[in-house]
Each structure stands twice: as C-alpha cells, then as structure tokens.
Amino acid sequence: MKKVKLAQRLEQQLRMVAAERQAAKRDPALLAARVALKRYQSARLTGTHADLLANPNTRDAAAFFLDELYGSHDLSQRDMDLERIIPTLQKMLSYESLHTITEAIVLDALSERLDTAMARVLGTDFTEGMYVAAYRTATTREEREEQLVLVQQLGASLCELVTIPLLAVTLSIMTAPAKLAGLGQLHKFLDRGFTTFKKMKQPAQFVDTIVSRERQVMTNIYNGRMDPFDVI
C-alpha cells in the first residue's frame, strides 16, 4: 500500500513538472529566460560549494547534487519516460528506492515553479542585484523554506539508501534489465546517488552543510545583506 501511494504521488508531481516545462516551451522568451536563470544558478552554486567540489571525499556527491538538483540541462525526456513506466517502477524498485525518486521529483516540481516565477521577471540579461531582487519579490520565503526542507529530505533518503544491505549488488544486477525496460536514466540516477553517498565518510554531514549554506543564502537575501552568497 505504501508503494501504491508513492507511485500516485510520483505521477501527480511528474504531471506538474511536465505542465511547467511545456508551458515554457510554448513561450520562447520564457524558455530562454529559464535557461539563463538555471545556468546562472548552477554557476553560483558551483562557487558557493567549491570546497565540497574540490574535496576528494565529497567531490562526486557534490557534483551529483548540483547536477541532479540544480543542473541547467533539460530533463523533459527523463520525466516523460518516468511517467510512462511508473507501474514498472512500482514492481521493480524497493520502497526506499521509489521513495528517493519521488522525493527528487517533488523537489523538482517546486524548483521548476520557482524558476518560472523568477524567469518571468528577469528575462535573459540580468545582474546579481536583479537576481536577488527577483528572488525576494517573485518567490516567498515560505516557498524557499519548503525547497530547503525537500533538499534535506532527499539527502536523508540517499543517506538511508546506503545502509540497505546488498543494494549495491542489486543495482549492479539491475543495470541491463533497467535499460531494456526503459529505466536506464532512472537507474543511472539511483546508482550515481548510491555510489557517491556510499563512499563518503559522513554523508549526513555533507547534506547538512549544503542545506545550512543555502539557508544562510536565503536568510541573507531576505534580510537585504550585502554579498548574500558569501556564506563560507
């Protein structure tokens, strides 16, 4: 029953993400603004967490987090494939794996809405000051708090995955069947998340570090602090 509810939530969130992306594709100016915004945010995050990307212990996990959660690449095809095979996912994946995927899509759905709201204000050419102003006026602090809670929850789910006995073996065995079933990208997401978190010494501390920094950025912006991204 738990997996059924997860699958239902996953389907609902995927439809929300798809609607957001399809609306942007129908508006070339908005689409271009969203791409510009995502690239800006990706570069900013790379700077904020440069030490984590440079540290051999956290480098791969940081790259995974920034690529999968804040990347600028188009995930439309992945999401369409994912929605198509939800019944298969429900059968093939463990509850913990399905839960992690659902958490990622819930976060994605909210982030897409926030990005669209800011992109409508910013367009394709903006400064850091304009970005900060749009962050304050186009999105609410409550929405940003929710976004950080979802990041924390997804990180916790990945931390839980690495404690499951024999999951590494299961993921390895699933590689070929997953590709045949149309689950290649999804399997890659799970395998990469599991592998990068598994080899870290303190994965929970890593998640806490990212979330605490991003919460400080949020606080700095809403409090009108100069250099809001200077959090280290």
Q: What range defines the domain where residue 197 resides?
A: 2-222
- pLDDT grade for 167, boundaries at 50, 70 and 90: low
Residue 229 near residue 44, CB atoms below 8 Å: yes
- Kindly state whether residue 232 falls inside one of the protein's structural domains: no
Residue 70 near residue 41, CB atoms below 8 Å: yes
Residue range 99-132, pLDDT digits in tens: 887 888 888 889 989 999 999 999 999 999 999 9
Residue range 56-72, pLDDT digits in tens: 999 999 998 888 766 65
Residue range 170-197, pLDDT digits in tens: 555 455 445 544 555 666 677 777 788 8
CA distances from 167 to 16, 163, 171 (A): 30, 8, 6
- Kindly state whether residue 11 falls inside one of the protein's structural domains: yes
- Helix ranges (DSSP H) in 86-232: 86-92, 95-122, 128-138, 141-161, 167-180, 184-198, 203-222
pLDDT of residue 74: 60
- Kindly state whether residue 230 falls inside one of the protein's structural domains: no
Total domains in the fold of the chain: 1
- Kindly state whether residue 227 falls inside one of the protein's structural domains: no
- For the ranges 54-63, 76-85, 160-169, the maximum mean pLDDT occurs at 54-63
